[in-house]
Amino acid sequence: MLISRIKSISQLLTTLFSSFFDIFYVDATSEDTIQTDLEAIAPGKAKRTVEASLRWLASQSDRNWLLVFDNADNVNLNLKQYFPSCSSGNILITTRNRELRHYTAKDADADVKGMDLEDSKSLLLIQARAESNVENDALAESIVQVIFPLFVCKVSC
């Protein structure tokens, strides 16, 4: 079920966030799933390691990419070690655990728990810097129904 959920989110976010050069999804439920998904990011014939993938992402300074850590609910995982060392790109963490907000800058997190559908859609469109139109509104509604309720953290790397 988790794989189909990630694929649904992937398809919806890809359409909604078309301003990103590429979007990479990492199942952040465990150390093993994080490492497996990050290793797959390294392009072409590059060595498939977490370090190689993070170096490659960091080198993409001319591209606006998004790295999504989905289901990052375990506070014992050190997610920061999986953030590329760079000043470009974007990181989005979805979690049900408010304790993970320490990864964000002040006011760069959003608690969507308890929000109604319209407020959740509006928040998503604002965070995505997407205009409100029929297509984006429909996509935003699909996304918030799939991942609602989550605590969303946006991390600038």
Query: Which pLDDT value is given to residue 99?
Result: 76
Query: Which pLDDT value is given to residue 132?
Result: 86
Is residue 135 within 8 Å of 81, Cβ to Cβ? no
Q: Which of 144, 150, 28 is nearest to 95 (CA)?
A: 150
Q: Which domain holds residue 26?
A: 2-156
Is residue 37 within 8 Å of 79, Cβ to Cβ? no
Q: With the C-alpha atoms ordered 34, 148, 9, 6, is the resulting torsion angle positive or negative?
A: positive
Q: Which of 133, 29, 11, 7 is nearest to 74 (CA)?
A: 29
Query: Which pLDDT value is given to residue 82?
Result: 93
Contacts of 21 (CB under 8 A, 6+ apart): 60, 63, 64, 65
Query: Which pLDDT value is given to residue 111?
Result: 60
pTM score, two decimals? Answer: 0.63
Question: pLDDT tens digits, the chain, 157 residues: what are they?
Answer: 334 444 555 565 556 666 677 888 999 999 999 999 999 998 877 788 999 999 999 998 888 888 888 888 888 988 889 999 887 788 888 877 777 766 666 666 666 556 677 877 887 787 777 888 888 888 888 777 766 545 454 554 4
Q: How many CB atoms lie within 10 A of CB 103?
A: 18
How many domains does one find in the chain? 1
Can you tell me the distance from the alpha carbon of 2 to that of 24, in angstroms, rounded to the nearest whole number? 16
Please report which helix (H) or strand (E) contains residue 72, including its range.
Answer: none
